Chain A
Amino acid sequence: MSLLKIKDATLKFGGVVAVDDLSLSVEEGEIYAIVGPNGAGKSTVFNLISRFYQPFSGSISFDGQNLLDRSADQVADLGIARTFQNIELFDHATVLQNLLVGRHRHRKTSMVEELFFAPRVRREELAHREAVEEIIDFLDLQPYRDKMIAGLPYGVRKVVELGRALASGPSLLLLDEPASGLSVEETQDMRWWIDDIRKQMGITVLMVEHDMGLVSSVSDRVLALADGAKLAEGTPAQVQADPAVIEAYLGAGAV
């Protein structure tokens, strides 16, 4: 059974159809990429899954549960974590604190216990810290552990955001343009990490990405979107060779 299933989802902003009768399904353990020109509705699909937007029609289910029954803050509890296209970190906190916010869905202590810092809070904190340290090791973030986000370079922030999503221990990871604005080396690193996230951690990855090099090297299946509708779906090679995709990117008669 598919892990994530979107069926006939439609979303309109006024007269603009952002997502047009879109269906897709992501299988457990695969890396699924969504590509398409700017404004094709890729990030909107992510915002639908994160429950920031409510679709006009259609259904979204995750792991057999209806996602549309959940509010935006309950999505993380199901095991879906995401990153943002323009990096949404907590700027006035350290890298470590940012990653620890990722553990938020695993907290068990109440407000009163935390006010008095009961022994249980300390035990929990140590466990969270251990989980976060594994992510720090995985992503080589050791030099930045106690640094404020506000002072970090762009590339590092991108990695921290990936780390924060991983810290929540998701079963599905949504990556919104993980390589945008990264240098060639950083993109290479990102490629290995995405590969390892699937292999070592067993996390299913759904990503939106423009860098076709990255997409074709890591993803199992690719979906091409244009104007909110599905153009083509298949292996990276199939999608790249699809005439409709070439037309959407380069215009009619380009081949």
Chain B
Amino acid sequence: MRIQFKTSYNDDIRLFPDRWTLGVYTTLLVMAFALPLLIGEFYLGEVTNVLIWAIAGLGLMLLTGQAGQVSLGHAAFLAIGCYTNTILIEAGLSFILAFPLAGVITGMVGAIIAIPALRLHGIYLAIATIALSILADDIIVLLDPWTGGVSGKFPDMITIFGLEIERWSMPTRFYYLVLLVTILCTLFYRNLLRSPLGRAFAAVRDSEVSATAMGVHIARTKTKAFGLSCMITGWAGALMGYYAGAFNNETFSLVISITLLMMIVIGGLGSIHGAFFGAVVVAFLPQVLSILKGAVLGGGVAIPGLETGVFGMILILFILFEPMGIYGRWLKIRTWFELFPFARKDMFRRQKSYLKTERLR
């Protein structure tokens, strides 16, 4: 059993609460950096894909898991990030400027779109944001001169101070770029969690009435949540564009939005780990399925809708048996080992919630 001995308030603010966690995450980071030496190019590409999904997941997690606002429109923000980045580079900006700017612009668009969406709650917000996903497709076609419309766009090679990065010919360099962005986004997320804004998000998520009474401006806080979430999603979108090598109006469809939301639910809402666990499932499941299908039925047999069907099944099973997602299950298993043999079966059972103040206004 691990015992934390805290001697100053700073111990609760530090990135890593104790030496053990510091060790674990340092090892993880070292392994991530050494990964290109350990695995082949194909699998390195797959891991890169996982990381890009994880960044997108972090973006949506911030909005849904932290601030409690459901969005089924995040594919649109992936698209905005992707197209902005490409257009800025085509306009002559260098990647080192265009990429951060693409995220910031996506964030600002997200914040503006959030303003009418602020009055909506839960399922109504989800429905309103679906419209965004559907609209994005048409808008990309309409903006043909900038976006290339149906024929799409092919992002150029990335150049950072003369260093060339390309997904197909130099997967290792591209992997390191994605890894750096992932680390940065994770750090941003973690910093928010330990500062007043992150707590304001949680306050808005759990009780708008008392958040207001504590001086939290609900609309402003939600706008910030949308903005920050879309910024991170925009970066993921730009990287997705590079990863795919080509994109058009159909690349960022509603299905991507739904997959993203599913991903963070399966991973575990409200945790950084959840975004990563979910990304692993979403990125590897198609591969695992096709390998399994090949082993069972032999190659060449096509089963339409198999992937979506299995995804749906997994989601339903998670909601029924593990609403806290993979991360929740991981916590339970860890606690069982840490407390062995004192873990009790109902330690994680939810307390019944008490009466809620009737909605004001």
Q: Which residues of A contact B (CB under 8 A)?
A: 47, 50, 52-53, 72-77, 81-82, 84-93, 96-97, 100-105, 107, 109, 111, 114-117, 121-122, 124-126, 128-130, 133, 150-152, 154, 157, 164, 168
Contact = CB atoms under 8 A, between A and B. Distances in A.
A52 B360 contact: yes
A90 B202 contact: yes
Contacts of A72: 212-213
A100 B199 contact: yes
Contacts of B210: 84, 88-90, 164
Contacts of B273: none
A102 B205 CA distance: 15
A136 to B, nearest CB: 12
Contacts of A129: 9, 12-13
Interface of B: 9-10, 12-13, 188, 191-192, 194-200, 202-203, 205-207, 209-218, 224, 228, 270, 350-351, 353-357, 360-361
A76 B215 contact: yes
Nearest to B355: A86
Nearest to A167: B214
A151 B202 contact: no
A164 B214 contact: yes
Given A89-B207, A124-B196, 13 more contacts: A72-B212, A73-B212, A87-B354, A90-B202, A90-B207, A93-B203, A101-B200, A101-B214, A102-B214, A104-B203, A109-B196, A122-B13, A164-B210
A109 B188 CA distance: 15
B194 A117 contact: yes
Chain B contact residues, majority secondary structure: helix
Nearest to A110: B197
A88 to B, nearest CB: 4
Given A47-B360, A52-B360, A86 B354 contact: yes
A125 B206 CA distance: 22
Nearest to A145: B12
A115 B188 contact: yes
B248 to A, nearest CB: 33
Contact of A111 (B10, B197, B216, B350): B197
B216 A104 contact: yes
A104 B195 contact: no
A93 B214 contact: no
A82 B207 CA distance: 14
A213 B216 CA distance: 35
Contacts of B214: 76, 81, 101-102, 104-105, 164, 168
A182 B211 CA distance: 24
Nearest to B189: A115
